[in-house]
Amino acid sequence: MQPSSIVNDRIARIAAHLQPPNDSQMGDLRRENCRAKGASGGFKVAVLGAAGGIGQPLAMLMKMNPLVSVLHLYDVVNAPGVTADISHMDTSAVVRGFLGQQQLEDALTGMDLVIILASVLRKPGMTRDDLFNINAGIVKTLCEGIAKCCPKAIVNVISNPVNSTVPIAAEVFKKAGTYDPKRLLGVTMLDVVRANTFVAEVLGLDPREVDVPVVGAHAGVTILPLLSQVKPSSSFTPKEIDYLTDRIQNGGKEVVEAYAAVKFADACLRGLRGDAGIVQSAYVASEVTELPFFASKVRLGRTGVDEIHPLGPLNEYERAGLEKAKKELAGSIQKGVSFIRK
């Protein structure tokens, strides 16, 4: 064999290896999935948008999570390569890749937790809302698939603008007759992670010892840190409050990261397992304000959100921030709802 044909042969074999499973292999896959679940008692997780900047590290960290027995990686590009990479990790979760919309239903069937990251990304100078026109349609299509293939799954919505994509998801599920508000969660954990880090810097503490409640939603003024409720109990100068509020609200302009998405997914899985006292912030259908969706601390359980915590006492600065947040958020929610009801 000529060296070039050896190389071509090898490439062909690698390409074949990277091919997503065909229909008969899917039968084997389902049996394999059942064995995997039975063996470890773990959960089946799908990551939609798995080849992106957040998707790849998230996929790697989910593959390392012992609560995950099956990991489905779906994207419209590069899913086979990312899947091959992740699947060589010597941890127990079975990893499968799914490429393009024709494989969406296979990616979703039987999932316990679906993480939606699929998106175009904002460029410098854009707001999260500038992504609406494209991402609204992407999230709609993915949620239609979820309603059909895994209507009982817990859904983590990360694709921006979260303030609108969660109402979009809710409307899609309502239309399909599968809506369960306990199972639909917008991921705002990154705001809490940032708040803990920045407040710890100011206080000179370890961020792991700091708890900053952040309520509202996930964009600009709708991200409302409640510095009066920081634990351990602390006081801040007006200058520190302005600095911290601004930095927490605009952290997404500095860097976008996967850690918070992983931390939140892990909390959802521990809730599904039945662990007690799993409390994290999320943007959910809520009655803590007059708006239909709002982020605050929630207790996670076997069926998703078991309890929504109230906001607690706010000082004057925070009450003013809440009014601003509600005004902007009302418009973002309506925009999402109208996109589906139009």
Ligand X SMILES: O=C(O)C[C@H](O)C(=O)O
Q: Catalytic residue numbers? A: 218
Does 218 sit near ligand NAD (CB under 6 A)?
Answer: yes
Q: Which two tokens stand for residue 137?
A: 């349609």
Does 48 sit near ligand NAD (CB under 6 A)?
Answer: yes
Q: How far apart are CA 230 and CA 200, in angstroms?
A: 10
Does 121 sit near ligand NAD (CB under 6 A)?
Answer: yes
The residue length of the chain stands at: 342
Does 86 sit near ligand NAD (CB under 6 A)?
Answer: no
Q: How many residues line the site for ligand NAD (CB under 6 A)?
A: 27
Among 54, 68, 147, 166, contact with ligand NAD (rule: CB under 6 A)? 54
Task: Indicate if the alpha-carbon torsion angle 28, 31, 34, 39 is positive or negative.
Answer: negative
Does 77 sit near ligand NAD (CB under 6 A)?
Answer: yes
Name the one range near ligand NAD by CB under 6 A: 21-29, 47-55, 291-299, 316-324.
47-55
Q: Is 308 annotated as a binding residue?
A: no
**Phi and psi torsions of 21, nearest 5°:** -65, 145
Cis peptide before 232 (omega within 30 of 0): yes
If one counts every other C-beta atom within 10 angstroms of the C-beta of residue 329, the result is 26
| Pick 36 or 260: Cβ nearer ligand NAD | 260
Q: Is 75 annotated as a binding residue?
A: yes
Judge whether 115 and 46 are in contact, CB under 8 Å. Answer: yes
- Tokens 């419209």 identify what position? 76
Does 117 sit near ligand X (CB under 6 A)?
Answer: no
If one counts every other C-beta atom within 10 angstroms of the C-beta of residue 93, the result is 23
Q: Is 135 annotated as a binding residue?
A: yes
Q: What is the DSSP letter of 215?
A: E
Q: Is 186 annotated as a binding residue?
A: no
- Tokens 């599904």 identify what position? 272
Does 118 sit near ligand NAD (CB under 6 A)?
Answer: yes
The binding site for ligand X (CB under 6 A) comprises 122, 128, 160, 190, 252, 256
Q: Which positions lie near ligand NAD, rule CB under 6 A?
A: 48-49, 51-55, 75-77, 117-119, 121-122, 131, 135, 138, 158-160, 162, 187, 190, 218, 256, 260
